[in-house]
Amino acid sequence: MIERSFQAMGGTVELTLLDDTDAAAEHIEDLFQEYEHRLSRFLPWGELAALHRAAGSPFAASRILFDAVSQAVEWAGVSGGVFDPTVIDALEANGYDRTFERVAGGTAVRERRRPFAAARWANIALDPVARTITLPPGVRIDVGGIGKGFTVDRAIQALGADANAIVNASGDLYAAGNGPAGDGWYVGIADPHDPVRDLAILRVRDRGVATSGSTGRNWALGDHRYHHLIDARTGESAASDLLTATVVADTATHADLLAKTAFLLGSEEGLPFVERFGAACLAVTGDGTVLMTGRLKDYLA
C-alpha cells in the first residue's frame, strides 16, 4: 500500500493506493500540479488568467480547462443559477481576492461594492469542436467550486478502471474499489462543531464524497464574517441555515457540486434537490441538528 500526501489547490491532497506503484503516485501528484496551473484563479501566469485576459474573444483552451468550464457552466444551468461560477467580483468585493491562506491571515480588504450582475454564466460561449471558450467582456469564471472534485475524478481515471484507491483533495474525495479488507472504504464525516471528531462514518465503494459549508473558508472584516459560498441573487455570502452539507454521489465532481448547491439552497430545498440526482446527503444546521436523506443509510457503516 502506498500512502502519500502533498500540497495542491490550497490544501493537502492525500493518496492511498492499494495496488499501484510509486510511479502512479508521482503521476497523480504531477496531474494535480498541472490541473492547478490550468484552473486556479490565483496564478497570474496560469491558463485561467489567460482566459480572463481574452474576455470578449474566443480563447483556445486546453482540454482540461475546456472540460472544467463546460461542467461548471452546465451545472449552473442544472441548478437554475444557484451555483454560479461567475461571481468572482462578489467574492473579491467581500475580501476573498487572494489565496485563502492570506485572507485568513488578516490581509482581506472589503472593496467598494461594484454593481452585482448575476447569471452571466448564461452568456459564456463554448465551442466543443474548436475547443474555444468565449467570455463576455468583463466576465471572469471561477472553477474553484468544481476544481478539486474534477481533478480527483481525473486522478482516479488515470489509475485505471480496476483501481483500489482513495484520492482525497482537502476533503473532496473519491473511493475506488473495495478497500483493503474487501468491504469498502470507511470515510469519516468531520463534525463541524468539533472537527477533530467524526459525526458519522460512511462505507463506500466507487463513490465520490464531498463536504461544503461555511465553517472552512470564512474570514472577518470589521464586524462581519464572510464565507466563500456566494448567494448569486445578492452577491453576499449565503445566509444558509446549514453549516455543512456532505454528499455521496457517483463522482467527486457531482458530490462537490451537489454539496455546494445543497448548502446554498438550505435544508428545505437543498436535501430534496440532492435526492433528485440519486445522491445522498448528510447536513448539519446551525443549531446542531443533523439532517439526512433516506438514501444516506445505505452508506452508514
Partner 1 sequence: MKWHKNLGAKLTVLTASLIALVGGWAVIRQNPPATDASTTAPVEPIQAPATTTRTTVRPPVQVTRKTHTRTHVS
Footprint on this chain of partner 1 (rule: CB under 8 A): 10-11, 14, 16, 148, 166, 168-173, 175, 179-180, 185-192, 195, 197-201, 209-217, 244, 246, 267, 271-272, 275, 288-295, 297, 301
62 half-sphere exposure, CB direction, 13 A CA radius: 13
Whole-number minimum distance, CB 49 to partner 1, in Å?
22
Nearer to partner 1 by Cβ, of 66 and 174: the residue is 174
Nearer to partner 1 by Cβ, of 200 and 221: the residue is 200
- Phi/psi for 184 (5° steps) reads 105, 175
Grid cell of 205 as nine digits: 465503494
Nearer to partner 1 by Cβ, of 135 and 291: the residue is 291
Contact between 209 and 202 under an 8 Å Cβ cutoff? The reply is yes
Q: Angle at the Cα of 32 (from 27 to 34), degrees rounded to 5?
A: 95
- Residues near 99 by Cβ (< 8 Å), separated by ≥ 6? 10, 42
Contact between 248 and 296 under an 8 Å Cβ cutoff? The reply is yes
Nearer to partner 1 by Cβ, of 118 and 200: the residue is 200
Nearer to partner 1 by Cβ, of 1 and 130: the residue is 1
CA separation for the pair 2, 17 (Å, rounded): 5
Whole-number minimum distance, CB 50 to partner 1, in Å?
26
16, 74, 171, 237, 261 from 266: Cα distances, Å: 33, 21, 21, 13, 8
Nearer to partner 1 by Cβ, of 139 and 156: the residue is 156
Nearer to partner 1 by Cβ, of 16 and 79: the residue is 16
Whole-number minimum distance, CB 24 to partner 1, in Å?
18
Whole-number minimum distance, CB 126 to partner 1, in Å?
27
Whole-number minimum distance, CB 179 to partner 1, in Å?
7
- Look at residue 225 and give its three-state secondary structure: strand
Residue appearing with cell numbers 455570502? 237
Whole-number minimum distance, CB 270 to partner 1, in Å?
9
Contact between 178 and 164 under an 8 Å Cβ cutoff? The reply is yes
Whole-number minimum distance, CB 201 to partner 1, in Å?
5
Q: Which helix (H) or strand (E) holds 100?
A: helix 100-102
What's the N-to-C CA distance of the chain in angstroms? Answer: 23
